[in-house]
């Protein structure tokens, strides 16, 4: 971060992973007056933030040099481990710095990373998010944090531009909350998709059906946003099906470790597994409708 000025509270932030979600989140921090250094595996995605005032780093280690807070928003646990430990970011951090991992990974990985960073005198908070690209753009993400209470409290002004943070419990609890969130999202997407098919197959209008039940007990953000996608058949990803499956895989692994049987989650997990295996990983997770239509031999686009 050589040459960067300090942020409005004197703290410097490094943001590692400026993809679909990370870029608008980093932009919110820049807009709040923080000095932000950015790095992304695809450098062009980091360079796009230069016009907003970000400093683009060549490597993760360069990005975190001199940073007080390091935020990671990466694809999976392997990517987080690679960037932090294999590429030398953790070794380049100053003792006393804090890592906020906003990626969605399994809880045991978060606890492992926290322990490894603690050996270096670096605090760790697992803080995955919900709200999608829309929430990232608007700064209204639901942020689920796991870690020491005083560490999370001290980061309030860092979290504020990105959304609403809630401490769920100790290290790993943020990731556990995200898995539970993703269970609800996936099962609800499946329920809305099946309802749309029932209406369509019976000769009704899915669009009118969605309007009719708005405000009733079935109202939800999924019905609002993803129900609209289903009606309009717009499946360019806000949240990809491959990422949904990754989170469902982690949820099922965690449930097995806790000796829990989750029949609804298991069913929707199986459907997303098939959908992604059939080459639909980059479709929005609301596109599960397409998979269920195919299983029922329903014509795509039927109203």
Report the domain count for the chain. 2
Q: Where is the domain boundary, 170, 200, 228?
A: 170
Whether residues 17 and 166 fall in one domain? yes
pLDDT above 70 covers a percentage of the chain that reads 96
- pLDDT tens digits for range 20-72: 999 999 999 999 999 999 999 999 999 999 999 999 999 999 999 999 999 99
Q: How far apart are CA 291 and CA 276, in angstroms?
A: 9
Assigned domain for 229 exists? yes
Assigned domain for 166 exists? yes
Mean pLDDT across 191-218:
97
Greatest Cα pair distance, the chain, in angstroms, is 65
Q: How far apart are CA 19 and CA 73, in angstroms?
A: 8
Whether residues 90 and 196 fall in one domain? no
Whether residues 195 and 151 fall in one domain? no
Beta strands 141-146 and 129-130 are antiparallel
Assigned domain for 252 exists? yes
Q: How far apart are CA 221 and CA 184, in angstroms?
A: 11
Predicted pLDDT at 198: 98
Predicted pLDDT at 299: 81
Q: What is the DSSP string of the chain?
A: -TTPPP-TTS-EEEEE--STTHHHHHHHHHHTT-EEEEE-SSHHHHHTTGGGTPEEPSSHHHHHTT-SEEEE--SSHHHHHIIIIISSHHHHSPTT-EEEE-S---HHHHHHHHHHHHTTT-EEEE--EESHHHHHHHT-EEEEEES-HHHHHHTHHHHTTTEEEEEEESTTHHHHHHHHHHHHHHHHHHHHHHHHHHHHHTT--HHHHHHHHTTSTT--HIIIIIHHHHHHT----SSBHHHHHHHHHHHHHHHHHTT---HHHHHHHHHHHHHIIIIITTSBGGGHHHHHHHHTTPPTT--
What are the C-alpha distances in Å from 105 to residues 134, 150, 206, 231? 21, 23, 35, 31
Q: How far apart are CA 254 and CA 115, in angstroms?
A: 19
Predicted pLDDT at 9: 62
Residue 1 in this model has a pLDDT that exceeds 50:
no
Q: Where is the domain boundary, 145, 170, 195?
A: 170
Marked catalytic residue, from 45, 178, 246, 283: 178
Q: Where is the domain boundary, 170, 203, 238?
A: 170
Predicted pLDDT at 5: 41
Predicted pLDDT at 183: 96
Whether residues 29 and 165 fall in one domain? yes
Assigned domain for 139 exists? yes
Assigned domain for 5 exists? no
Whether residues 183 and 160 fall in one domain? no
Handedness of CA 28, 83, 93, 59 (dihedral sign): negative
Cα radius of gyration rounded to whole Å, the chain = 20
Whether residues 145 and 193 fall in one domain? no
Whether residues 217 and 165 fall in one domain? no
Least confident of 152-161, 203-212, 242-251: 242-251
Whether residues 164 and 184 fall in one domain? no
Assigned domain for 3 exists? no
Range of the domain at 186: 177-295
Whether residues 287 and 253 fall in one domain? yes
Whether residues 101 and 133 fall in one domain? yes
Tokens of 50: 């230069």
Assigned domain for 7 exists? no
Residue 168 in this model has a pLDDT that exceeds 50:
yes
- pLDDT tens digits for range 232-270: 999 998 889 999 999 899 999 999 999 999 999 999 999
Burial class (CB in 10 A: 0-12, 13-18, 19+), 152: buried
- pLDDT tens digits for range 45-56: 999 999 999 999
Higher pLDDT, 2 or 45: 45
Assigned domain for 32 exists? yes
Mean pLDDT across 125-134:
92
Does 45 qualify as catalytic in the annotation? no
Whether residues 115 and 197 fall in one domain? no
Q: How confident is the model at residue 303 (pLDDT cuts 50, 70, 90)?
A: very low
Residue 153 in this model has a pLDDT that exceeds 60:
yes
Predicted pLDDT at 271: 98
The predicted model scores a pTM of: 0.86
Predicted pLDDT at 10: 76
């Amino acid at each position: 971060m050589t040459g960067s000025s300090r942020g409005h509270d004197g703290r410097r932030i490094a943001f590692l992973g400026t993809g679909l979600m990370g870029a608008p989140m980093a932009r919110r921090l820049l807009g709040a007056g923080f000095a932000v250094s950015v790095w992304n595996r695809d450098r062009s995605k980091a360079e796009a933030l230069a016009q907003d005032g970000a400093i683009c780093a060549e490597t993760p280690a360069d990005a975190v040099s001199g940073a007080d807070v390091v935020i990671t928003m990466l694809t999976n646990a392997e990517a987080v481990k690679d960037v932090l430990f294999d590429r030398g970011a953790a070794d380049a951090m100053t003792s006393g710095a804090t890592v906020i991992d906003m990626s969605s990974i399994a809880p045991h990985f978060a606890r492992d990373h926290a322990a490894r960073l603690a050996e270096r005198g670096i605090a760790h908070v697992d803080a995955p998010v919900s709200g999608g690209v829309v929430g990232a753009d608007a700064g209204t993400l639901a942020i689920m944090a796991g870690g020491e209470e005083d560490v999370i409290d001290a980061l309030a002004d860092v979290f504020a531009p990105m959304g609403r943070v809630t401490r769920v419990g100790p290290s790993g609890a943020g990731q556990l909350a995200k898995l539970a969130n993703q269970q609800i999202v996936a099962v609800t997407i499946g329920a809305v998709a099946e309802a749309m098919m029932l209406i369509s197959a019976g000769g009704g209008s899915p669009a009118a059906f969605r309007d009719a039940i708005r405000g009733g007990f079935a109202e939800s953000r999924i019905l609002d946003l993803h129900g609209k996608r289903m009606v309009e058949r717009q499946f360019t990803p806000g949240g990809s099906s491959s990422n949904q499956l990754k989170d469902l895989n982690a949820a099922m692994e965690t449930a097995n470790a806790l000796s829990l049987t989750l029949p609804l989650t298991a069913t929707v997990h199986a459907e997303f597994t098939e959908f992604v295996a059939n080459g639909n990983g980059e479709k929005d997770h609301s596109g599960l409708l397409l998979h269920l239509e195919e299983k029922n031999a329903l014509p795509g686009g039927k109203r």
